[in-house]
C-alpha cells in the first residue's frame, strides 16, 4: 500500500501545536509555504485543539485517521492513489452554535485564483490592501471607489458543484456530493474562498454549518454524534475540468459505503405530489425536508440533517437517500408559473424508514382564492431576481446605486425598472389606474396589499402609504436586521412578508399610488425587494 506516502505529507508534523497542520505536498510541491495551513473551529476563532490521533478504521485501500479534541473528532480518510482526503467531523461536545468550518490557508504564490459555481477569477492582489481603506469587516475601499471583500465569493450552498483555489501548477478543491449535513434550505448561503487581508494567504473555507452570515443569526443545539460530511478535499494540477470529472465519480458513490456508521447508512426515500387548492400543479416549487419543530425558521434550522429539491412541471417531487427519522415538509414558490403564490406549504411528522419508499400521495397547498389582481411587481420567490442589480454576482455597495426617487407605472414599466434594493432617502411610487367600473364593481370590497422583502439591513426606515394614507412604518424597531445587503448580497437575505387591508373608499377612479418613502438612510443598508401585489379581496 502507498497510503502513508499520502498521509504523512498531507498532515505534516505539527500535531504538537494542537491546532494546525502546516505542511501539505502535491507531486513534491509544498503547498502551505508561509501560510497558516489547515485547522478547524466554530463560531469565530474557537479552534479545535487536537489531543491525539488514532486509526479509526482501515481497509485494503484506505485508512481513516481520527484527530480528537474535547468537542469533536475530525477524520481524514485517505485512499491509495487519490490525492487529497475524504473528511468528516463528529460532534463530541460542541455547545449551541452558529458556525462550524474547516479551512486551508495556502501559499498565495501557488494559489492565485478562486472558483465557485458563480465566479472563476483571480483572488485580489495582496498589494491592493496596502493603500485601501477598511470600511467594515474584511471589506476594503480602493482609491477608485471600488471594493474588495471576502463576501464577493459567497454562494448558495445547495447550488454548489465544487469550489476551491488554484493556480497553473496545483489546485485545492472541496467536493460535497451529499449536502444533507448542510443546515437550512435552498436560501442558505455562506463564504467559500478569499484573500486573507492581514497575511495574503489564499483561503479555502469549508463552512459546513452557518446560521449566521446573510440571515438573522441563530445558535442551534448539536446532538452528540452528529456527523458533518464526508466531503472530499481534492488536489490536482489546477484543472477545473478534472475536478468536474472527479465530482461525477463522487456523486455516483455517495452515500459512501466505506463509512461504517449505522445511522449514516440507514436511509429511505420520499415521493409526493403537490397541487395548489385552485387546481394548479405546484410546478417548480422549492421543496424542503426540515425540522419537525416549526417554531424554528427553515433558514436557521441547524440541529439535524436537511434535504432540498424542486417539484417538476406536474408538481411531483422526490428525495432519495434520506437518513431515517422524522421530518417536516415545506414548500414555497420559486417563481415561474407560481409567481403569484405568496403562501407557504408545510406538513409535519414525515417519517422515513430504512429501505422504504414513503409515498405521500397528492398534497393540497392552500392558497387564497377568489382574489383578483390589480397589479404585481416581481415574482414571489424570496429573491430579488428580475430587478435592476438583483441577482449574481455578489458585489459590495450596490444598494447605493439605486435611485432615491422612482416612479413605476403599471402597464408601462417593466420589472427591470424596479431596483433590487431601496436605500437612499426619497420615495418610490407605484402608479396604477382604476376605472369607474373597477370602483363600482368592488364598492363593498377591500383590497389586500401583500409585500415580500428578500432582506432588510438596519438602520434604514421606511413609511408605506396608499393614496397618501399611512399603512405602516418599517424600521429597526419593527424588523430584525440581516447582514445580506451590506455583505455583497444582491439575491436574498432573510425573507419577510407583510399584508395590509385597504379599506373600501381608499382607492378611487383614475390614478392611484402606493408609496415607499425612506426616512432614514444608513450606508449600504436598506430594503431588498421580492414582490409587491395588490388584489381585490
**Distances from the Cα of 203 to the Cαs of 30, 114, 479, in angstroms?**
16, 9, 34
Closest to 277 measured CA to CA, from 327, 338, 197, 330? 338
Three-state DSSP class for 392? coil
Per-residue pLDDT at 15: 47
Same domain membership, residue 250 and residue 209 = yes
Same domain membership, residue 436 and residue 318 = no
Three-state DSSP class for 299? helix
Per-residue pLDDT at 5: 36
The whole-model pTM stands at: 0.95
Per-residue pLDDT at 17: 65
Domain endpoint, select from 343, 365, 387: 365
Per-residue pLDDT at 3: 37
Domain endpoint, select from 244, 264, 284: 264
Same domain membership, residue 312 and residue 185 = no
- State the Cα angle at 313 between 312 and 317, rounded to 5°: 25
Q: Which three cell numbers stand for residue 158?
A: 445547495
Same domain membership, residue 287 and residue 186 = no
In which domain, by residue range, is 428 found? 372-536
Closest to 78 measured CA to CA, from 238, 234, 278? 234
Domain endpoint, select from 241, 264, 287: 264
Following DSSP, what letter does each residue of 253-285 receive, concatenated? HPSPTT---HHHH-EEEEEEEEEETTS-B-TT-
- State the Cα angle at 350 between 100 and 270, rounded to 5°: 90
* Structural domains of the chain, count: 3
Helix (H) or strand (E) holding 465: strand 461-466
Class of residue 204 by CB neighbours under 10 A (exposed 0-12, middle 13-18, buried 19+): buried
Q: How far apart are CA 70 and CA 68, in angstroms?
A: 7
Other C-beta atoms lying within 10 Å of the C-beta of residue 326: 12
CB-CB contact of 423 with 518 (8 Å): yes
Q: How far apart are CA 303 and CA 291, in angstroms?
A: 8
Strand partners, 111: none
Same domain membership, residue 164 and residue 306 = no
- Which of 19-22's residues contact partners 24+ apart within 8 Å by CB, and which partners? 19/47, 19/48, 19/49, 19/50
Same domain membership, residue 178 and residue 307 = no
CATH number for the domain that contains residue 18:
2.70.98.10
Other C-beta atoms lying within 10 Å of the C-beta of residue 249: 12
Same domain membership, residue 452 and residue 409 = yes
Cis peptide before 393 (omega within 30 of 0): yes
Q: Which three cell numbers stand for residue 115?
A: 472558483
> What backbone torsions phi and psi does residue 105 show, to the nearest 5 degrees?
-115, 115
> How far is CA 426 from its chain centroid?
31
Per-residue pLDDT at 444: 87
Same domain membership, residue 274 and residue 257 = no
Q: What is the pLDDT along the chain (537 residues), one digit of tens a residue?
A: 333 333 444 444 344 469 999 999 999 999 999 999 999 999 988 999 999 999 999 999 999 999 999 999 999 999 999 999 999 999 999 999 999 999 999 999 999 999 999 999 999 999 999 999 999 999 999 999 999 999 999 999 999 999 999 999 999 999 999 999 999 999 999 999 999 999 999 999 999 999 999 999 899 999 999 999 999 999 999 999 999 999 999 999 999 999 999 999 999 999 999 999 999 999 999 999 999 987 899 999 999 999 999 999 999 999 999 999 999 999 999 999 999 999 999 999 899 999 999 999 999 999 998 999 999 999 999 999 999 999 999 999 999 999 999 999 999 999 999 999 999 999 999 999 999 999 999 998 999 999 999 999 999 999 999 999 999 999 999 999 999 999 999 999 999 999 999 998 999 999 999 999 999 999 999 999 999 999 999
Same domain membership, residue 414 and residue 294 = no
Same domain membership, residue 252 and residue 293 = no
Same domain membership, residue 389 and residue 332 = no
Same domain membership, residue 337 and residue 435 = no
Half-sphere exposure of residue 372: CA atoms within 13 angstroms, side-chain side: 6
CATH number for the domain that contains residue 509:
2.60.120.260
CATH number for the domain that contains residue 270:
2.60.40.10
Helix (H) or strand (E) holding 228: strand 227-236
Amino acid at each position: 500500500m502507498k497510503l502513508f506516502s499520502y498521509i504523512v505529507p498531507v498532515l505534516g508534523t505539527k500535531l504538537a501545536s494542537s491546532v494546525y497542520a502546516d505542511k501539505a505536498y502535491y507531486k513534491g510541491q509544498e503547498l502551505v509555504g508561509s501560510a497558516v495551513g489547515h485547522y478547524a473551529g466554530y463560531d469565530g476563532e474557537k479552534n479545535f485543539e487536537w489531543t491525539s490521533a488514532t486509526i479509526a478504521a482501515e481497509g485494503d485501500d484506505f485508512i481513516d485517521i481520527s484527530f480528537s479534541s474535547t468537542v469533536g473528532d475530525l477524520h481524514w480518510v485517505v485512499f491509495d492513489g487519490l490525492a487529497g482526503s475524504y473528511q468528516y467531523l463528529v460532534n463530541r461536545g460542541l455547545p449551541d452554535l452558529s458556525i462550524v468550518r474547516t479551512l486551508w490557508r495556502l501559499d498565495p504564490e501557488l494559489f492565485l485564483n478562486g472558483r465557485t459555481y458563480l465566479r472563476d477569477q483571480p483572488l485580489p492582489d495582496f498589494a491592493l490592501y496596502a493603500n485601501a481603506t477598511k470600511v467594515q469587516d474584511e471589506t476594503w475601499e480602493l482609491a477608485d471607489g471600488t471594493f474588495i471583500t471576502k463576501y464577493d465569493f459567497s454562494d448558495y450552498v445547495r447550488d454548489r458543484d465544487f469550489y476551491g483555489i488554484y493556480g497553473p501548477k496545483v489546485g485545492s478543491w472541496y467536493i460535497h456530493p451529499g449536502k444533507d449535513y448542510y443546515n437550512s434550505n435552498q436560501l442558505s448561503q455562506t463564504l467559500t474562498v478569499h484573500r486573507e487581508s492581514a497575511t495574503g494567504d489564499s483561503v479555502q473555507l469549508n463552512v459546513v454549518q452557518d446560521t449566521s452570515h446573510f440571515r438573522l443569526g441563530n445558535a442551534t443545539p448539536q446532538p452528540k454524534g452528529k456527523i458533518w460530511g464526508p466531503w472530499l478535499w481534492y488536489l490536482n494540477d489546477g484543472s477545473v475540468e478534472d475536478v468536474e470529472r472527479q465530482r461525477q465519480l463522487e456523486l455516483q458513490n455517495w452515500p459512501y459505503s466505506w463509512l461504517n456508521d449505522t445511522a449514516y447508512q440507514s436511509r429511505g426515500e420520499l415521493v409526493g405530489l403537490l397541487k395548489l387548492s385552485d387546481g394548479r400543479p405546484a410546478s417548480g416549487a422549492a421543496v424542503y425536508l426540515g425540522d419537525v419543530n416549526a417554531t424554528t425558521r427553515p433558514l436557521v434550522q441547524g440541529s439535524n440533517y436537511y434535504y432540498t429539491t424542486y417539484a417538476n412541471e406536474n408538481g411531483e417531487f422526490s428525495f432519495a437517500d434520506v437518513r431515517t427519522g422524522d421530518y417536516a415538509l415545506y414548500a414555497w414558490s420559486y417563481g415561474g408559473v407560481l409567481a403569484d403564490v405568496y403562501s407557504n406549504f408545510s406538513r409535519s411528522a414525515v417519517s422515513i424508514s430504512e429501505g422504504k419508499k414513503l409515498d405521500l400521495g397528492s398534497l393540497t397547498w392552500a392558497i387564497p382564492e377568489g382574489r383578483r389582481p390589480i397589479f404585481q411587481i416581481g415574482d414571489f420567490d424570496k429573491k430579488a431576481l428580475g430587478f435592476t442589480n438583483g441577482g449574481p454576482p455578489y458585489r459590495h455597495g450596490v444598494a447605493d446605486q439605486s435611485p432615491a426617487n422612482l416612479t413605476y407605472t403599471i402597464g408601462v414599466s417593466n420589472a427591470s425598472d424596479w431596483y433590487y434594493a431601496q436605500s437612499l432617502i426619497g420615495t418610490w411610487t407605484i402608479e396604477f389606474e382604476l376605472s369607474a367600473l373597477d370602483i363600482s364593481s368592488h364598492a363593498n370590497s377591500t383590497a389586500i396589499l401583500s409585500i415580500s422583502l428578500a432582506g432588510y439591513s438596519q438602520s434604514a426606515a421606511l413609511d408605506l402609504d396608499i393614496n397618501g394614507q399611512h399603512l405602516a412604518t418599517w424600521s429597526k424597531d419593527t424588523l430584525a436586521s440581516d447582514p445580506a445587503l451590506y455583505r455583497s448580497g444582491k439575491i436574498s437575505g432573510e425573507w419577510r412578508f407583510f399584508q395590509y387591508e385597504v379599506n373600501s373608499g381608499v382607492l378611487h377612479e383614475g390614478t392611484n399610488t402606493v408609496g415607499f418613502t425612506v426616512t432614514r438612510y444608513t450606508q449600504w443598508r436598506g430594503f431588498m425587494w421580492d414582490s409587491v401585489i395588490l388584489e381585490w379581496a
